[in-house]
Amino acid sequence: ETAVLANKFRGCMLGSLLGDCLGSPFEAESGPVAKTILQKYFDKMEDPTFKSPVKRYTDDTAMTKSVAASLAQHGAFNEKDMAKRFATEYFQEPRRGYGEAVTRVFRKWRESKMEDVWKPAREQFDGQGSAGNGSGMRIAPVGLFCYRDTDLLVETAAKVGKLTHTHRLGYHGGILQALAVQLCVVQDSKAVVDTKRFCDDLIEKMSKLEPKDEDELNSFEQEPKSYQIQLKLMQKLLQKKDVDNDEVVEVLGNNVLSIYSIPTAIYCYLRAQQPIEFIKTDNIFRRVIQYAISLGGDTDTIASMAGALAGAHLGADSINANILKHCEGVDMAVSLADELLDAVNSPPA
């Protein structure tokens, strides 16, 4: 029982890391990533004789690390501690490819000496708040830490998100990704995923959070977007055969906004449970990440979120050890996974 969970926690943290490291060289390249180039890239990574400079992680992992370490050390969400870790991490290594706007939050925290940790985020984008996917890219540790308690998970993911992302579609995206991680943790790693049920479950949970009012759903760029709408579109796509990358990007998106990348990442995880014509591998974990990157756009973040789901479902055992050797931060990810599991198993007195 504990060994199964440890494998899943490690798989999730490693999946999040690997998607980031392997996806970041392709981030924001114009157009889709060439399928043959990507196939060779992954084949080489699996080849034990292949040597290459280590693939560095980006902001996605830098922030995930802070979320995991803060939860593990406090045994609960602590806003000041988490904010401090985000800022410290950023000022130590500012060149990890952070979102353009979010660094203003870090600077305001420093200037105000953390007087009100919630305020700088509310001031982003002229008071609209950020709707970027920074909320989802760092949330996997919340899905792990709270996997036994959905109410706590939703509440914690909302707070972790609102430290930097107060737009409804921003922090709701983080909640959605955390809920998906939870589903993957509780799923039997040997069982075939029921993709329809997976979507239905998420739609049901998001329906309790999202506004019922159609007008309110129109708040972002005049487009009627909610996670429920995107999840229903995803469910339809999953039922179609041989959907090509252009259609996926057209329907679900692949950019830095939460609404156009978090459902996409969940779709990648679910779609890649079955063979994909242009991806030659029997390893489902690899297929998920390779497929996510093939969509182009925000490749590090979409692959990282999809990888977290695959890893939480399949466990660290499913990851090719040669691929791990090419990525920065593997030992750190494993330690954080173990610390999180310890914290889950020994709640504070």
Binding range to Mg ion, per CB under 5 A, among 41-49, 96-104, 146-154, 205-213: 96-104
* 306: nearest Cα among 262, 343, 338: 262
Residue 163 binding: pick among ligand F2R, Mg ion, none (C-beta 5-8 Å cut-off by kind): Mg ion
Residue 44 structure tokens: 């080489």
Query: Closest Cα partner for 65 from 141, 6, 11, 153?
Result: 141
Residue 16 binds to Mg ion (criterion: CB under 5 A): no
Applying CB under 6 A, does 174 fall inside the site for ligand F2R? no
Residues 57-116 that bind ligand F2R (CB under 6 A): 58-60, 97-102
Q: What contacts 257, CB < 8 A, 6 or more positions away?
A: 131, 132, 133, 169
Cβ closest to ligand F2R, residue 12 vs residue 102: 102
Describe the crossing of helices 150-162 and 168-186 by its angle, rounded to 10 degrees.
140
For position 128 contacting ligand F2R by CB under 6 A, the verdict is: yes
Residues 6 or more apart from 87 whose CB is under 8 A from it?
106, 109, 110
Q: Which is nearer to Mg ion, 173 or 315 (CB)?
A: 173
Contacts of 236 (CB under 8 A, 6+ apart): none
CB atoms within 10 A of CB 318: 18
Number of residues engaging ligand F2R in binding (CB under 6 A): 25
Q: How far is the CB of 83 from ligand F2R (least distance, A)?
A: 14
> Which range of residues in 38-46, 100-108, 180-188, 297-305 is near Mg ion by CB under 5 A?
297-305
Q: What is the pattern of x (binds ligand F2R, CB under 6 A) and - over residues 283-302?
A: ---------------x-xx-
Location of structure tokens 């399949």: 314
Min separation Cβ 118 and ligand F2R, Å: 15
Question: Least CB distance from residue 181 to ligand F2R, whole Å?
Answer: 18
- CB of 334 vs ligand F2R, minimal distance in Å: 22
Q: Which of 133, 166, 228, 264 binds ligand F2R (CB under 6 A)?
A: 133
Tokens of 107: 């600077």
